[in-house]
Structure 1
Amino acid sequence: MPELTGWAWALLALAAVVVGLSKTAVPGAGTIAVAIFAAVLPARQSTGVLLLLLILADLFAVAMYRRHADWKALVRLAPAVVVGVLLGVVFLWFADDVWVKRTIGVILLGVIAITLLRRRLQAGAGADTGSHRIAAATYGSLGGFTTMVANAAGPVMSMYFLAARFEVKAFLGTAAWFFAIVNVFKVPFSIGLGIITVPGLLIDLVLAPLVIVAAFFGRWLADRMPQQLFEKLVIVFTIVGAVYLLVS
């Protein structure tokens, strides 16, 4: 077991709770967990440890919201996401931690600005098929890239699903399947890059129960959350995550 202080374990426990909640109630909040893990553990190790906890939370999110997914949206995203993940693998070979954080922070802020602008321009009018395809290509490639390099695609994809105006359950169900598939797809690459390690697996075993409890609490919370509050929380957590990555 890695040697960590009591404060370090407390922070990791908090991050594990955030992981569970982000998958079943508050998308975008997962960036806070990314920040905590990166602050407590070495950067590369933190990515691997967090990835396995995210997959665990994904399993519960899929079980809870499996009937609410929009599979047409997922199919539109698939090609761009694969391209983004592969670009992320290449990027990880050359970029240091500072470049990774700054790049993702800039991407997130840009995505927020574009999403809010799109919603204002499309107010009262439906988007055509072409705009759906452009949005899927843009958000999908950015989501694949950011999830590979830092497990930080939550805010990116939250902006995509928010722009598509999904109601709470459809949002959570589509996001659950999206991340479950993408995160499992990332595992072989993460092993090859040396990101997933045995000490990291031991940390995951300790934190896993907290992820599970938080996931069930998130499910309870989602049933009681108004749509307007849900959308505001998504935007706020996305901005917080982006700013942290830029200034840390």
Structure 2
Amino acid sequence: MFGFDLPSLTFFAAAVPAVALVGLSKGGLGGAFALIGVPLMALVVSPVDAAAIFLPILILMDMVALYAWRKHNDRKLLLAFLPGGMVGVALGWATSAFVPPDALRFVIAVSMILFSARYFYQTYGPGAGTPVPASGHRTGPALFWGTLCGYGSFVAHAGGPPFQIYALPLKLDPKAYTGASVRFFALVNAIKVIPYVALGALDRQNLQLSVTLLPVALIATMAGAVIVRRLKPDVFYPLAYGLGLLAALKLLWDALPF
């Protein structure tokens, strides 16, 4: 039926939850789940193979998420972030062999931890209740965080926190925020196919493994979209910052030398 030997149940015991977590993230629940996915699968295959197996799945998830969020977007956010994102992917391709991924993980983790701590202090600290105005679009920060996002997505699967650092303070409607995020990462993942093919990571075996996991990806992505559609802003934003903080702590743990 499959034309190749199915891996052991141990593989599926790690791969199915990993894909489900990433699917929930793709559906709109935030980057923390996505960051857990690849390391979880890497328990049973090499990190390179884990990333390669995930890429076709991510692209399918992107297609499902794009359909689910087709009516929601923030055009200004998408256009502001895309130039830096494309630059970041190109830099990742050019320098991934020379820049340690742990160094990038550390920088992103510390930035996101400070960013989340600031939000929770403002929201629940002594000055809680004082309105914090939404920030506006700024070309410099958009280019910086967009580049870091594209670079992190390519070399360390860590594009979510930089996107959140720039986009969450805009205080967009949750649906518009999610729609823009879905569109941005769909474009980034599509572009990443070229260097992954050039690196030889998308071989026949990994592609076949991806196919066996696609049903899990579809169900989880739609479930994530359904959940986010029912969240109000006063629930969505604390959840988004909280998941971002979890993602940052996971990145920091991966980056530290022990």
Alignment of 1:105-184 (within 5 A): 105-114=106-115, 117=118, 124-129=132-137, 132-184=138-190
Number of matched residues? 243
Q: Which amino acid aligns with 2:105?
A: I
**Counterpart of 2:75?**
71
* Structure 2: segments with no counterpart, 5+ residues: 123-129
Matched, 1:48 2:56: no
State the 1:231 CA deviation: 2.1
Task: Give the conservation status (yes or no) of the 8 Å contact 2:148–2:162.
Answer: yes
Q: Which amino acid aligns with 1:113?
A: L
Q: Which amino acid aligns with 1:207?
A: L
Give the secondary structure class of the aligned counterpart of 1:41: coil
**Counterpart of 2:102?**
101
Per-residue deviation, residues 49-86 of structure 1 (Å, max 9, x unmatched): 11211111111111011221112211111221121111
State the 1:2 CA deviation: 6.7
Cα 1:25–1:72 shift into 2, 3 Å: closer
Q: Which amino acid aligns with 2:220?
A: A
Give the secondary structure class of the aligned counterpart of 1:67: coil
State the 1:207 CA deviation: 0.6
Matched, 1:92 2:96: yes
Per-residue deviation, residues 196-217 of structure 1 (Å, max 9, x unmatched): 2221111111110001011222
**Counterpart of 1:240?**
246
Return the structure number with greater helix share: 1
Give the secondary structure class of the aligned counterpart of 1:39: coil
Q: Which amino acid aligns with 1:43?
A: P
Task: Give the conservation status (yes or no) of the 8 Å contact 1:109–1:239.
Answer: no
Cα 1:7–1:149 shift into 2, 3 Å: same
State the 1:124 CA deviation: 3.7
State the 1:115 CA deviation: 6.3
Per-residue deviation, residues 113-146 of structure 1 (Å, max 9, x unmatched): 24664895x95445355xx222211210110101
C-alpha distance in 2 between matches for 1:240 and 1:177: 23
Q: Which amino acid aligns with 2:27?
A: T
C-alpha distance in 2 between matches for 1:145 and 1:17: 24
Q: Which amino acid aligns with 2:135?
A: A
C-alpha distance in 2 between matches for 1:103 and 1:2: 37
Alignment of 1:30-41 (within 5 A): 30-41=34-45
Give the secondary structure class of the aligned counterpart of 1:161: helix
Task: Give the conservation status (yes or no) of the 8 Å contact 2:134–2:169.
Answer: no
C-alpha distance in 2 between matches for 1:244 and 1:2: 33
Matched, 1:210 2:216: yes
State the 1:6 CA deviation: 1.7
Identity of aligned residues (%): 28
State the 1:100 CA deviation: 1.1
Matched, 1:192 2:198: yes
TM-score normalized by structure 2?
Answer: 0.84
Cα 1:84–1:46 shift into 2, 3 Å: same
Q: Which amino acid aligns with 1:77?
A: F
Give the superposed CA RMSD.
2.5
